[in-house]
Chains A and B, each alone.
Chain A
Amino acid sequence: MKLQFWGVRGYVPTPGAEYLRYGGNTCCTAIYGAGGEMVVIDTGTGFCQLGDTLMTTEFGRGRGEMTLLITHTYWDHILGLPFPGLVHIPGNRLHIYGPDSTRGSLEMVYNGMLSPVYSPVYGLAHIGATHSFQPTTTTPFTVGGMRVSALPLSRRNRSPIWAYRVEEGSRSLVYITDVRYTDDQIWNQALQFAAGASVLVHSAPYTRTEQVQDYGHSRVEDAIELAQEAAVERLIIFHHAQSRTDDQLDLLVSNYRRQLSDDESPLILDAAREGPVVEV
């Protein structure tokens, strides 16, 4: 199982020279199974970049198939979905799992995003590829040789935000985003869900020393503590703040790595970067 980030930025895309090394597209992570299966978690603007590269594969010929796991429908996690050419090519099949919210099913929410006031697509009925929407539940399912499970870890305005765990053989990847550990219950649920993961991808846009009015996100320290308690091998923080430059991220990661090394912690820490393929 391999992992590739196509969008690592939270909130809003950040094109610009000072964001190039880590990347400025919003959340999108691709997971490649040993059998050629593809699972994509979240479809921020990084999905547009992934989609472009897939046009030279089966997707360009209308014979591609992928599974999308949507954590929640905030812009930075979904707004890239209608743009890539592959979603407009008949024959391609997208299996889309995501939350039903108080405002309607995932399909209804997405259809609303494509309404003519917001999009030239004029609604889901006019999109070429086959989109099958399924509400995410806690019942595990498989994609080829990969096993997927999900947990509604937090809620925002009554809509659930799902965490996902993808396993292949003895390796496992856990993806947690947009959560604030406000009580023991959420913390313990996250601990159990992330237990022993090979890789934990966790949103952590700010640190505890930064006083930012952002109540929906955990801090870098929270992610590190969770990873350590859950005996995770490698933590990759993502959903970088829009103000965080490459140089600041370098410094931030090296500071926390030094602390981990001083504490003789076995945890490997990285900040997510768009582009490189990572072995899980």
Chain B
Amino acid sequence: MIVRIWGTRGSYPVARAEMLRYGGNTTCVEVRVGDSCIILDAGTGLRQLGEALGREPNPPTTINMLITHTHWDHIIGFPFFAPIFSPQNRLEIYGLQRTQSSLRKTIANALSDPLMPIGLEDLRANLSFHEIHEGLEFQLDSRVRVCTARANHPYRALAYRLESDGAALVFIPDTGPFHTVLFGDERIEWTGKPTANTDDDLLALATMRAQIINLARGADWLIYDSQFTDEQYARFPHWGHSSASQAREIAEEAGVGQLLLFHHDPHHTDAQIDAMLEEQRAICRSDMIITAAYEGMELRKGDLP
């Protein structure tokens, strides 16, 4: 398995000199196993990934795109991904099933007038939309096993585990911790006090946490939301993001090989992310490796294409 990081930033893309090392593009990760090409999220990093695929001698013609959720920062790279304009390509797009709107309609509306001049009919690649739900396990291209769980994020988001030939990657770019606020479909009005008070809420949070830990258990790599410092988290617990220390705690409990801090805050400079990373390394009790994901980062294990 080869994992390449194309976008690490959360919320919105940032073009600033102080953020060049970790990068300013929003979330996008490429996974290659054998002939399979899997893309996790379609943030602005997707544009450069599309260009890189175009430079390959035999670029993949089937591309699986697993979307955690459709907040802007996770889909804004989509219309700038060159392979969607080539008729020989097939895109299999996976995302959450929702009652309000189909995945196809959600993407189509974002791309069309008056927000963009594109209709799905202008995309010459063959697109299929697959609506999935948390707790699902399925096989992609016969070589890759995909498992999903629910992340604790406004309007819900998916967490993914990809496994192939003894290598496992877990991708949880957007989730809050599991003690104060239980996110669902409704908006949370933050009053300064924990909103998850009832036994049902607390049980739901504990269950979600157990399932996230289970999803991440023993993974080689865990890419995890660490948008905040602890001080920021205390001010914005209703945003549905974690702090770096909360990410480390989940990673340690799940016994992962390497934690990658991810979904960097759009205000955090390279120096601030360095400091957050050092702080977590200093208090990490296990032999787990902690890094902060940066654009251009590549991870390899097991069966390589």
**Which residues of chain A have a CB within 8 Å of any CB of chain B?**
9, 11-17, 19-20, 23-25, 45, 48-49, 52, 72-75, 78-80, 83, 99, 101-103, 109, 112-113, 116-120, 122, 126, 156-159, 216, 242, 274
B15 x A109 contact (CB < 8 A): no
Given contacts A83-B11, A103-B113, contact A120 B17 (CB under 8 A): no
User: A274's closest neighbor in chain B, by CB?
Assistant: B15
User: A20–B23 Cα gap in the complex (Å)?
Assistant: 12
B12 x A117 contact (CB < 8 A): no
Stretch at the interface among B71-79, B244-252, B285-293: B71-79
Interface string of B1-30 (1 = CB under 8 A from A): 000000001011111110110011100000
Size of the chain B interface, CB-CB below 8 angstroms? 41
Within 8 A of A (CB), among B241-259: none
A83 x B240 contact (CB < 8 A): no
Given contacts A74-B115, A159-B113, contact A117 B70 (CB under 8 A): yes
Question: Which residues does chain A contribute within 8 Å of B47, judged by CB atoms?
Answer: 12, 242
User: A74–B101 Cα gap in the complex (Å)?
Assistant: 21
Counting chain B CB atoms within 10 Å of each CB, the highest count among A13, A45, A101, A112 belongs to A13
Contacting B71 at CB < 8 Å: which of A101, A102, A119, A242? Answer: A119
B15 x A23 contact (CB < 8 A): yes
User: A29–B72 Cα gap in the complex (Å)?
Assistant: 22
Counting chain A CB atoms within 10 Å of each CB, the highest count among B11, B75, B113, B154 belongs to B113
User: A145–B26 Cα gap in the complex (Å)?
Assistant: 40
B106 CB-CB contact with A under 8 Å = yes
Question: Which residues does chain B contribute within 8 Å of A23, judged by CB atoms?
Answer: 15
Contacting A25 at CB < 8 Å: which of B15, B76, B116, B117? Answer: B15
Interface string of B167-189 (1 = CB under 8 A from A): 00000000000000000010100
User: A78–B110 Cα gap in the complex (Å)?
Assistant: 13
Question: Which residues does chain A contribute within 8 Å of B155, judged by CB atoms?
Answer: 116-117, 120, 122
B239 CB-CB contact with A under 8 Å = yes
Given contacts A9-B15, A45-B14, contact A117 B116 (CB under 8 A): no
14 contacts between A and B (CB under 8 A): A15-B9, A15-B15, A20-B15, A25-B15, A49-B14, A72-B114, A75-B76, A83-B11, A109-B115, A116-B100, A117-B101, A117-B106, A118-B106, A120-B154
Question: Which residues does chain A contribute within 8 Å of B19, judged by CB atoms?
Answer: 15
In order of increasing CB-CB distance, the 10 nearest A-B pairs are A15-B24, A24-B15, A157-B113, A122-B187, A101-B114, A13-B13, A116-B155, A120-B154, A15-B15, A159-B114
User: A15–B264 Cα gap in the complex (Å)?
Assistant: 14
Question: Which residues does chain B contribute within 8 Å of A79, judged by CB atoms?
Answer: 12, 72, 76
User: A120–B69 Cα gap in the complex (Å)?
Assistant: 11
